[in-house]
Structure 1
Amino acid sequence: MRNGDPAASVISRLAWQHRTFTVLELHRLAYYPVRAQVAELGAQAAVRAIARVAGAYANRRATKKRAHIFRQHGAIPYDARLMSWNRDARAVSLWTPTGRVTVPYAGRPNDLKVVDTLPLGEADLIYRRGVWLLQVTVTLPKSRTREPINGFMGVDQGVANLAVTNDGAVLPGPALPGPIQGNGHVRTLRERRHRQRQRLQKKGTSAARRVLRRLSGREHRLMTDLNHQLSKLVVREAERTGRGIALKDLQGIRGRARAHRLQRRTLHSWAFAQMIEFTRYKAARAGIAFILVDPAYTSQACPQCGCTTKANRPARGRFLCTRCGLAGHADHIAARNIAARGAAGWAAVNQPHATGLPSARRDRESKPPASTGW
């Protein structure tokens, strides 16, 4: 299984040397050289390695100073030509440089049920702490999106408070099971982990490095689990009340936000995008309307009279309208504004037309077909 990683590194060096990063051009450049250098590499494995290299450069090309080198035990992509499933025997056949191997698989009951019943896509073979894991993509049945008859549930994401809904719920909190007691508890745990990493890195001994390896990924797993719980609670509440879900569109926030140097680590480790994606796919699975809204001035605008001014925020957590006197928690006010913008945005996108089609669908179907190039 190790030959896939040197193959990707060979392709990566060729891509960097010739500044060729698209899949098609990279295939023309590297397919035959990499198969000549890595004798055991199969045709389809070479194709997947090329796609893997192109994907590695897709989002980080401008910031890279040298060719990307792939780890020896990095993830190895598999598609339908490189693996086959025997669901009755709970086994999967995987391509390797020395021939195919058939190995049994196990998992949680819910995961096994998904593998047994849903169409399977590509997979990644990964190595974690002495255990081989197969991460499989599945095609979920598409649920029909229901109309949000009771409006939208607005959720304000932040650093001080991870999530606040327009109902006034501050998450995480008592509604979530587990040891996490609140936002303050999350910040305390992350600060403690940061100080621990600093001490061990400063010590630099072999024992310290062993502890760092053991602790690696623990904070990431904590936040991933927490974001799953938050998104699940939001989707469940929206489904119970017949509402849609509206979140702020925070794309590019790290580049726009100006943070003090003591706050930059907190800002750049904020997993807001993960929670958005978790909420998006859970909402789609449940057939709940989901929309991202413009985040500008959501915490400075009054949802009652519409007054928008910086003076409405006398303190970080306080909101006091200078016109009508509406007062409350700033994050709760922001969530109310997000809910209102979500309802307005959904109505604009799904506005009925004389043709009987919503405007978004009408625009898609009125576009001329794309040129085939013939």
Structure 2
Amino acid sequence: MAIRRSTAKLAGLPSVVRLRLMPTPAQADALTATVLVCNQAATFVSRLAWQHRTFTVLQLHRLAYHSARAQFAGLGAQAAVRAIARVAGAYGNRRATKKRAHTFRQHGAIPYDARLMSWSREARTVSLWTSTGRVAVPYTGRPEDLQAVNALPLGEADLICRRGVWLLQVAITLPKPRTREPVHGFLGVDQGVANLAVTSDGAVLPGSALAGPITGNGHVRTLRERRHRQRQRLQRKGTSAARRVLRRLAGREHRMMTDLNHQLSKHVVREAERTGRGIGLEDLQGIRGRVRAHRFQRRTLHSWAFAQQMAFTRYKAARAGVAFVLVDPAHTSQRCPECGCMSKANRPTRGRFVCTGCGLAGHADHIAARNIAARGAAGWAAVNQPHATGLPSARRDRESKPPASTGGR
């Protein structure tokens, strides 16, 4: 049984707060000029990167740093470094799909790091670098956001101008809570295409448990099919008006599924936290390469956002101090959780489970979720098995490893 603890980096759990800046007219002009020059510099670097087919940060820095500084007056050294990093990030994940050099919007958000800004929490101001010099800008925000800024470590920020309002989105590092022992077992979650998530308690998500306009899995499939047909119709048309509509609709389905996965993961974590349980999910990494699907089902399979749902559940569980494990998905929907009988004959239809041994019957996804919960509890017990040293087995194995070689010194 291949079960492993979450290996996410939990030294700190980053989050984002949004502050509203209140610059004077002169400061607003300086910020506007800074946004323009930084985005123009990023577009300039992007064209150089595309022309020379150079996309890594180090090589792009050697290629474009001095040229960008010479081309744009007022562009500081660290601002040029951040522009190069933005270009490398823009090409990092979508380079294969790019047909032309990436361009940055003139008034798009620009990043600030610790060298470009400094905080005065007592005066509630932030000192921001601009192309004409530093400006100390007052800020305000929601009470909880201000409290987080005053009490927690701050990371990078994005400067945004939205309809004349200046915003600063700041990454903060939340304290890592201690993972609580799942004294009441595990909550298993079966992920699927027909049903996005079914818990071992029998809840089918999305459904009445979630607030919002999405009423169920059938509703989700209907919306996605409607979007697919709409994209096909506009792409076949091919006119400039159709392309404008496609640009307007771009990302709408992705945003819907992201919001839905946030709701699903939040519900699962809250339920596990409320009942004192851990969370068990199937380890579905590489499933697209293992599963053979009919060509009419490939689009549905490859647009399945199971990895995002798993990532959201993992980090939300870590924030809440809820135990989280991934379990082996093999035969979870063919094994009886009562008598242990495992057979393909236990699945007479896709959504129905009937045990040939003891006669247990139920929804196949619910049975799978119960098996996932049982495997999660067994895996957690194995990983945290006590030892004579007083350390859990996982920690004991880690601390018993010899130190890495230092070359004989």
TM range (shorter): 0.7 to 0.9
In structure 2, what is the Cα distance between the partners aligned to 1:280 and 1:123?
24
Amino acid at match of 1:360: A
Q: Separation in 1 of the partners of 2:272 and 2:245?
A: 42
Equivalent position to 1:160, from 194, 208, 230: 194
- For 2:110, the equivalent position in structure 1 comes to 76
CA offset digits 1:6-28 (Å, max 9, x no partner): 54455556667777665456545
Is this contact kept in 1: 2:42–2:104, CA < 8 A?
Answer: no
Q: Give 1:302's aligned residue.
A: 336
Partner secondary structure for residue 184 of structure 1: helix
1:169/1:141 Cα in 2 relative to 1: closer, same or farther (>3 Å)? same
Q: How far apart, in 2, do the equivalents of 1:36 and 1:298 lie?
A: 62
Match of 1:361 in 2: 395
CA contact (8 A) 2:90 2:102 kept: no
- Tell me which amino acid in the other structure corresponds to 1:253: I
> What is the identity percentage for the equivalent residue pairs of Structure 1 and Structure 2?
81
Report the equivalent of 1:44: 78
Matched, 1:265 2:277: no
Q: Work out the CA distance in 2 between the residues paired with 1:261 and 1:201.
A: 20
Whether contact under 8 Å (1:12, 1:67) holds in the other structure is: no
SS at match of 2:155: strand
Moved more, 259-268 or 148-157: 259-268
**Equivalences for residues 186-205 of structure 1 within 5 A:** 186-204=220-238
1:140-182 per-residue CA deviation (whole Å, 9 max, x = no partner) reads 1111111111111111111111110011110111111222211
For 1:53 and 1:372, locate their aligned partners in 2 and report how far apart those are by CA, in whole Å.
37
How far apart are 1:295 and its partner, in Å?
Answer: 1.9
* 1:70-106 C-alpha deviation (Å, 9 max, x unpaired): 4335653321111234556665443344444555656
Q: 210, 231, 241: which is aligned to 1:176?
A: 210
Moved more, 105-114 or 159-168: 105-114
1:252 aligns with 2:286: yes
Q: 3-state SS of the aligned residue for 1:319?
A: strand
Using the alignment, how far apart are the partners of 1:234 and 1:9 within structure 2?
Answer: 42
Q: Which amino acid aligns with 1:364?
A: R
Structure 2 residue runs of 5 or longer lacking an equivalent are 1-34
Instruction: Give the SS at the match of 2:174.
Output: coil
SS at match of 1:156: strand
Determine which of 137, 155, 174 is the counterpart of 2:171: 137
- Counterpart residue type for residue 104 of structure 2: R
Equivalent position to 2:364, from 309, 326, 330 = 330
Q: Distance in 2 between matches of 1:42 and 1:369?
A: 43
Q: Provide the residue aligned with 1:228 in structure 2.
A: 262
Q: Which moved more, 1:76-85 or 1:326-335?
A: 76-85
Change (3 A) 1:25 1:199: closer
What's the Cα RMSD here? 3.3
- From the superposition, tell whether residues 314 and 134 of structure 1 become closer, same or farther in structure 2 (CA, over 3 Å): farther
Q: CA deviation at 1:289?
A: 0.5
Tell me the residue number matched to 2:380: 346
Letter matched to residue 85 of structure 2: A
1:110-129 residue pairs with structure 2 within 5 A?
A: 110-125=144-159
Instruction: After TM superposition, give the deviation of residue 250 of structure 1 in Å.
Output: 2.1
Find the aligned partners of 1:343 and 1:290 in 2 and give their Cα distance.
10
Aligned length: 373
1:317 aligns with 2:351: yes
Specify whether residues 130 and 302 from structure 1 end up closer, same or farther in structure 2 by C-alpha distance, changes over 3 A only: farther
* Contact 1:180 1:186 (8 Å CA) reproduced: yes
Structure 1 stretch displaced more, 52-61 or 186-195: 52-61
Query: How many Å separate the matches in 1 of 2:402 and 2:159?
Result: 41
Residue 334 of structure 1: how far off its partner (Å): 1.1
Q: Cα gap change, 1:112/1:207 in structure 2, threshold over 3 Å: closer, same or farther?
A: farther
After alignment, is 154-163 or 85-94 more displaced?
Answer: 85-94
Per-residue deviation, 1:222: 2.3
| Counterpart position of 1:240 | 274
- TM superposition shift of 1:193: 3.0
1:264 deviates by 2.8
8 Å CA contact 1:16, 1:66 repeated in 2: no
Deviations 1:280-323 (A, max 9, x none): 12211211111112222222222233333333322211122333
The one-letter amino acid of 2:275's match is: T
Q: Could you say if the C-alpha distance between residues 67 and 297 of structure 1 is closer, same or farther in structure 2, counting changes exceeding 3 Å?
A: farther
Cα distance between partner residues in 1 of 2:196 and 2:125: 41
User: What secondary structure, in the 3-state scheme, does the structure 1 residue paired with 2:36 have?
Assistant: coil
Residues of 1 paired with 2:228 and 2:94: CA distance?
26
**What do the CA deviations read for 1:241-281 (whole angstroms, capped 9, x no partner)?**
11001112222333333333333332233222222222112
TM-score (norm 2): 0.78
Could you tell me which amino acid in structure 1 is paired with residue 293 of structure 2? Answer: A
TM-score by structure 1 length?
A: 0.84
Does the residue aligned with 2:350 lie in a helix, a strand or coil?
coil
Q: Distance in 2 between matches of 1:141 and 1:235?
A: 18
Measure, in 2, the Cα distance between the counterparts of 1:331 and 1:193.
Answer: 27
Query: Partners of 1:156 and 1:22 in 2: how far apart?
Result: 39
- For residue 380 of structure 2, what is the amino acid of its counterpart? W
